[in-house]
Amino acid sequence: MPQNPTERLAAALAATPPAGVTVRRLDTHWTVVETLPPVARTFDAVIMFGVAGRETMIRYERIATPFTGPRVDADNRMPPALLRSRFTEFDVPELVRDARTAGFPVRLSHSAGTYVCNAGYGAALAGNPLSLFVHVPPTTRRGPLSDAGLERHARWLIGLVQESLRSGRPSFGA
């Protein structure tokens, strides 16, 4: 995607990260399946962002499936096989309700797709079941789906996860 909003989002979060947050940019490579699980284990929780080019809302992914499409990555490599579906331990439907209440255009999704987003999510979940993948649509000029709106959403979500972890309830309930 020529204008990937998650690159700008990651740069904005890295420039002024929320306290206690490590921001990392992952490239679009199938090798994430091998490299991400040990990294994910080192964090209390993992939130990943990726772009969904035909989406019109923010999507919270509930599951990573073992299905990948026959698409090459940025290095022209084919995907490895994922062994099984993996679910996040976060209460995603409740998180969607909280996000909507906060004014963000969010919907629940039961498929992280068939590309590197899905494989990366599965890898993160293999290392840390307190992982969440968030697909964002292409940005608009203004409003909740602008670059600024996506950053506000990301900071809100990170704050909610941090508060949930501090209180000992990773289900996100408000």
| Buried b / exposed e along 13-40 (16+ C-beta atoms within 10 A) | beeeeeeebebeebeeebbbbeebbebb
DSSP string of 11-46? HHHHHSPPTT-------S-TTHHHHHHHHHTTSS-E
Structure tokens at 6: 């998650």
Write out the catalytic residue numbers: 117
Cα 90 → chain centroid = 12
Type of residue found at 61: E
State the first-to-last Cα distance of the chain, in angstroms, to the nearest integer.
Answer: 35
CA distances for 40 relative to 8, 115, 120, angstroms: 22, 19, 11
Which H or E element spans position 166? helix 147-167
Distance between CA atoms of residues 154 and 47, nearest Å:
9
